[in-house]
Amino acid sequence: MKPPTIPYISKEKIKTTQLTEEEQRECLRHHSINLLLVHQKLSLDFCVKYILNPRFQNTAEEEDTDIYDVLFYQKHITEEELVEAMDKTDY
């Protein structure tokens, strides 16, 4: 990841304000992916690239995050499109 271009974002702001995708990516530096998963509307691409990517799962709780968690918290994403997107990844 490149150096931060936006200021630190608090947990409270993540919980109460919809962030841009750039801000969401920046939050990966300081916060659990699960905080974002639960409190932000995330794009399909973001979920595949970051939430489900083992390189970004740094704790046991994060390592337990799977497609069913994404589908539960990200109601706008369908199982079909998530599975299709996951099939295209190489991690």
Q: How does DSSP assign the chain, residue by residue?
A: -PPP-S----HHHHHHSPPPHHHHHHHTTTS-HHHHHHHS---HHHIIIIIS-GGG--SHHHHT--HHHHHHH-TTS-HHHHHHHHHT---
CB 22 within 8 A of CB 7: no
Is the pLDDT at 69 greater than 60? The verdict is yes
Q: What is the mean pLDDT of residues 67-71?
A: 97
* CA 44/CA 86 separation, integer angstroms: 10
The chain-wide mean pLDDT, for the chain, equals 94
> Mind listing the pLDDT tens digit for each residue in 2-21?
665 688 999 999 999 999 99
pTM score of the predicted model: 0.89
What is the per-residue pLDDT for 4?
Answer: 57
What is the per-residue pLDDT for 90?
Answer: 85
